[in-house]
């Protein structure tokens, strides 16, 4: 009796999904929206629309928009941090390990340019509500580089005088700048090439190679005296 079926009232298929799936769907939609619009301009209504629910539903699962963003970032950081720690296990030698960290970060940045752009932008706000959270995640993620450099110093491959924070600033700062170029449409990033070049620059720059070391110390002394006279 097809006619009978036709007269049944329309009943929306209220896809009542298990909590986990709903949360995952919202997070995915949120990530898309944040990537497209940035945090401030992203609209909860739009995220809800992407999932196919109404605004109110979002607030069943997340206290507020900020928490949504934090969760998106947290998930992302967890992923890449685990991936990094996993990948570096098998890599031996300071130079190789440094290359791995650089290469891995470039890979991440290159594959998630939009999201990385959002995260970095939001983490620089003066009073941004997100600063603290991002920095916490980031500290853990970048800790790997610290370990590599410290290890290199202990192993005598890297100059004793090397400032770990300088290296961290330099490596991540360099790659971050490459990201801005990418996002502004200037050019793509050739991950392997950039990794090699940056590694070359940085590793040669901090290498403890005997002859270099000597020269460096002399150079440093010269500068100090120069400023004195």
Partner DNA sequence: AATGAATGAGGTTTCATTCAT
Partner DNA sequence: GATGAATGAAACCTCATTCAT
Q: Which is nearer to a second copy, 82 or 140 (CB)?
A: 140
Of these partners, a second copy, DNA, none, which one is at the site of residue 175 (CB under 5 to 8 Å by kind)? a second copy
The Cα–Cα gap between 89 and 86 comes to: 6
Question: Two tokens at 147?
Answer: 């370990």
Q: One symbol per residue from 52 to 91: x for binding DNA (CB under 7 A), - otherwise; what is it?
A: -xxxxxxxx--xxxx-------------------------
Total number of residues binding a second copy (CB under 8 A)?
Answer: 71
Q: How many CA atoms lie within 13 A of 156 on its CB side?
A: 1
CA 126 to chain CA centroid, Å, is 19
160-196: b or e for each residue (b if 16 or more CB lie within 10 Å)?
eebebeebeebbbebbeebbeebeeeeeebebeebbe
Question: Two tokens at 115?
Answer: 């999201």
Q: Which is nearer to a second copy, 32 or 176 (CB)?
A: 176
Q: Which of 44, 88, 120, 183 binds DNA (CB under 7 A)?
A: 44
Q: Which of 73, 107, 176, 191 binds a second copy (CB under 8 A)?
A: 176
Q: One symbol per residue from 181 to 220: x for binding a second copy (CB under 8 A), - otherwise; what is it?
A: x-xx-------x-x-xxx-xxxxxxxx--xxxxxxxxxxx
Residue 9: left (phi > 0), alpha (psi -120 to 50), or beta? beta
Q: Which of 88, 129, 151, 164 binds a second copy (CB under 8 A)?
A: 129
Q: Which is nearer to a second copy, 82 or 107 (CB)?
A: 107
Continuous H helices in 89-209: 94-111, 113-122, 131-154, 164-183, 191-206
The residues binding DNA (CB under 7 A) are: 1-5, 7-19, 22, 41-45, 53-60, 63-66
């Amino acid at each position: 009796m097809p006619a009978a079926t036709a007269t049944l009232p329309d009943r929306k298929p209220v896809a009542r999904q298990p909590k986990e799936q709903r949360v995952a769907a919202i997070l995915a939609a949120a990530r898309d929206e944040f990537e497209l619009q940035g945090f401030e301009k992203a609209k909860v209504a739009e995220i809800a629309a992407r999932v196919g629910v109404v605004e109110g539903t979002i607030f069943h699962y997340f206290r507020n928009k900020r928490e949504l963003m934090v969760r998106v970032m947290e998930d992302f950081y967890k992923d890449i941090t685990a991936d990094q720690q996993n990948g570096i296990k098998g890599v031996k030698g300071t130079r190789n390990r440094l290359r791995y960290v650089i290469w891995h970060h470039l890979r991440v940045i290159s594959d998630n340019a939009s999201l990385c752009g959002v995260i970095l932008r939001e983490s620089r706000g003066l009073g941004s509500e997100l600063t603290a959270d991002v920095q916490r995640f980031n500290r853990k993620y970048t800790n790997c580089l610290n370990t590599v450099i410290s290890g290199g110093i202990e192993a005598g491959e890297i100059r004793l005088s090397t400032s770990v924070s300088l290296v961290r600033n330099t490596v991540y700062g360099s790659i971050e700048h490459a990201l801005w170029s990418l996002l502004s449409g200037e050019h793509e990033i050739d991950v392997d090439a950039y990794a090699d070049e940056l590694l070359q620059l940085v590793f040669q720059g901090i290498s403890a190679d005997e002859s270099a070391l000597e020269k460096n110390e002399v150079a440093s002394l010269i500068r100090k005296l120069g400023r004195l006279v």
